[in-house]
A and B are shown apart, each in its own frame.
Chain A
Amino acid sequence: MIKVEGLVKRFDGTAVLDGIDLAIEQGEIIVVIGPSGTGKSTLLRCLNFLEQPDAGRLTIGDLEVDVTRASRADILTARRRTAFVFQNYALFANKTALENIAEGLIVVNRWPKQKAHARAREILERIGLADKADAFPASLSGGQQQRVGIGRAMAAQAEVILFDEPTSSLDPEWVEEVLGLMKQLARERQTMLVVTHEMSFAQDVADRVIFMDGGHIVEQGPPGQLFGSPKDPRTQDFLRKVLATQVAL
């Protein structure tokens, strides 16, 4: 169970997150949508302390901290309980697909190398890249790189995987395979918080869709409700614009 209360993040005095409250149940799949620059990515980055929040309380399992007073140990704990999937994959360029997945297990969890590699091979199997174990990121397609990125997050066995626009940098031809893998994780009830513009993914997979605008959660609910009968004019306006371009929905 993950809980955020009153989360605030300012950049140069401007509040990008203006008091976010959010609770995520175990096994819940939440999709966050909203216009660019409304703090969706910042929310994810604050949960992982990639950005230092300016105010708020954060609960991840038995870790409960005032974010402004989080010690280095608290921050490491928060990071180890949340895994992150980056828009631009951010794979370690000097390591193979297998090593990218095993790295955290070896360095952070202090597993012996053999055990970590065995686990990494299992994960490669699950993400359909068993034959690419020894390939370096530079030789993989965008879709394959992002699947390794997801594999690295899976290895962390975190309470939640945070997806920051995981398909936005991909050529259209690779989007399906990445969404497919995410759907597979969703079926396994992996807790996920996904920022995306893929409305059909939200429609099919999410337990709850959150619409953010101006650093606030404007509206949230099951996808049928949020897409079918949005209440707030801002949600209606955003969905009208987005759905006009995503005809396939």
Chain B
Amino acid sequence: MQVLDFDYMLGLVPVLLRYLPLTLQMAAVGMVLALVLACGLAVIRVLRIPGLNAATLLFISFFRGTPLLVQLFLFYYGLPQLMAFLTQINGVTATIMGLTLHFSAYMAESIRAAIVGVDRSQTEAALSIGMTNGQLMRRIVLPQATRIAVPTLMNYFIDMIKATSLAFTLGVTELMGATQKEAAGSFLYFEAFITVAIFYWIIVELLAWFQRRLEIRLNEAYRR
């Protein structure tokens, strides 16, 4: 077995760093959009809004029931054939769209569970002192639902960061795409892919650290 080419790996770091922002950007934009969409879907589910509730169930069923890669191909290669105005869709946009829709389906369910998980008697207490539904949601339910939802939402965010690597199948040169190109040039596949693996690993560990800090802060009120 050959010894690893460490110099090559070190040299790869600055190259890959240039593509890191695009990866993070897709994940961040995807996460924000997915959160907003998921909150909307969760509220529809909690309030069982007629009509919309059924549509939401269908949406969640489809985006949870089909692979992300299939969804990305559908948006990037398939939809433009159907709708002419989408011919301009680029790989980054298609990826963000796919990530948003795919992960919002999962996140909607965990947000819904978190809202339902807030003790019902606190809702009654808030109503009993004359709060409106909006005040009750903003001041009492959502802050507590956040605490319940954060661990699972952070897991989806971590998953989403890794899922951005699928963008390379749509021709986007992000972290994975750049690595693929470098490896194809150098033939040092193991070195290239272990380097990018460590990149993802570090990002995810940083997030996990942040998640632990956040959870400690959110749990402050619940220590006995």
Contact = CB atoms under 8 A, between A and B. Distances in A.
B144 interface: yes
B17 interface: no
Contact of A92 (B125, B135, B220, B223): B125
A243 B221 CA distance: 41
A138 B224 contact: yes
Interface string A50-82: 100000000000000000000000001101101
Interface string B127-139: 1111110010001
A95 interface: yes
A107 interface: yes
Interface string B108-137: 000000000001011011111111100100
Contacts of A104: 129-131
A103 B139 contact: yes
Given A86-B121, A91-B125, A136 B222 contact: yes
A93 B124 contact: no
B33 interface: no
B103 to A, nearest CB: 26
A125 to B, nearest CB: 21
Contacts of B147: 94
Given A103-B139, A138-B222, A139-B223, A108 B122 contact: no
B144 A84 contact: no
Nearest to A82: B128
A121 interface: no
A108 B124 contact: no
B128 A84 contact: yes
A77 B129 CA distance: 10
A23 B46 CA distance: 39
B140 interface: yes
A210 B118 CA distance: 35
Contacts of B223: 136, 138-139
Contacts of A136: 220-223
Contacts, number: 77
B143 interface: yes
A187 to B, nearest CB: 24
Contacts of B124: 50, 84, 86, 90
A93 B130 contact: no
B129 A108 contact: yes
A2 interface: no
A147 interface: no
Nearest to A88: B121
B125 A90 contact: yes
A48 B149 CA distance: 31
Nearest to B142: A94
A139 B129 contact: no
Determine which residue in B130, B135, B144 has the highest number of CB atoms from chain A within 10 A of its CB, and name it.
Answer: B130
Given A50-B127, A107-B135, A107-B139, A139 B121 contact: no
A155 to B, nearest CB: 8
A152 interface: yes
A4 interface: no
Given A94-B143, A107-B139, A50 B128 contact: yes
B117 to A, nearest CB: 12
17 contacts: A48-B128, A49-B127, A79-B128, A83-B128, A86-B121, A86-B124, A90-B119, A90-B121, A91-B125, A103-B139, A104-B129, A104-B131, A107-B139, A108-B135, A138-B222, A138-B224, A152-B129
Given A92-B140, A139-B224, 10 more contacts: A79-B129, A83-B128, A84-B129, A86-B125, A86-B128, A91-B122, A91-B125, A104-B130, A108-B131, A152-B125
